């Protein structure tokens, strides 16, 4: 004899009415950006003043050309000590990472969370029509998750429960 379920009828979830959580709804749009010709000393001062760990590097057209981070600045600091060169000797262009991964602003925040886990990155820039429009961080994804507390997460993702 098979097992019978004594749960009774289940309430049908209304998946169609819920909207998916998009990266663009949680991204930061007021960014601290850097220019390729800025000195590393200027970047370090800005990182400390603004309590951030890095930021996008843009050209005059607001196009993303790289990312500069605390780690990039630390490399410069270490080498400047070794070669007895001042910190302002180097500029952002020589230290920034130019192979930058971006995220689509229409990506679901849960998919973005997976991308963060796979890539070990702390932030991703969002580019639209070739221009930098925002940045999403791990903290932004956590804020989105907090807003869902107490809700059924499956109803906010593709396909539903």
Q: Where do the domains of the chain lie?
A: 23-148
Task: Confirm if 87 and 74 have CB atoms less than 8 A apart.
Answer: no
For residues 84 and 127, what is the distance between their CA atoms, to the nearest angstrom? 39
Q: 79 and 137 in contact (C-beta within 8 Å)?
A: no
Is domain 23-148 given the CATH code 3.10.580.10 in the classification? yes
pLDDT tens for residues 95-131? 999 999 999 999 999 999 999 999 988 899 999 998 9
Q: Which residue in 48, 28, 9, 20 sits closest to 136, CA to CA? A: 28
The model's pTM is 0.74
CA dihedral 71, 74, 78, 83 (to 10 degrees): 110
């Amino acid at each position: 004899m098979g097992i019978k379920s004594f749960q009774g009828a289940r309430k049908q979830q209304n998946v169609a009415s819920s909207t998916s959580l998009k990266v663009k709804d949680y991204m930061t749009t007021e960014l601290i950006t850097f220019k390729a010709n800025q000195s590393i000393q200027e970047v370090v001062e800005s990182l400390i003043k603004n309590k951030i760990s890095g930021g996008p590097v843009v050209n005059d057209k607001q196009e993303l050309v790289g990312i500069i981070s605390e780690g990039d600045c630390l490399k410069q600091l270490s080498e400047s000590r070794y070669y007895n060169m001042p910190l302002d000797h180097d500029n952002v262009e020589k230290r920034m990472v130019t192979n930058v991964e971006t995220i689509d602003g229409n990506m679901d925040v849960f998919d973005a969370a997976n991308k963060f886990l796979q890539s070990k990155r702390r932030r991703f820039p969002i580019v639209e029509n070739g221009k930098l429009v925002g940045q999403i961080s791990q903290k932004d994804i956590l804020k989105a998750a907090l807003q869902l507390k107490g809700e059924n997460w499956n109803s906010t993702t593709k396909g539903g429960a």
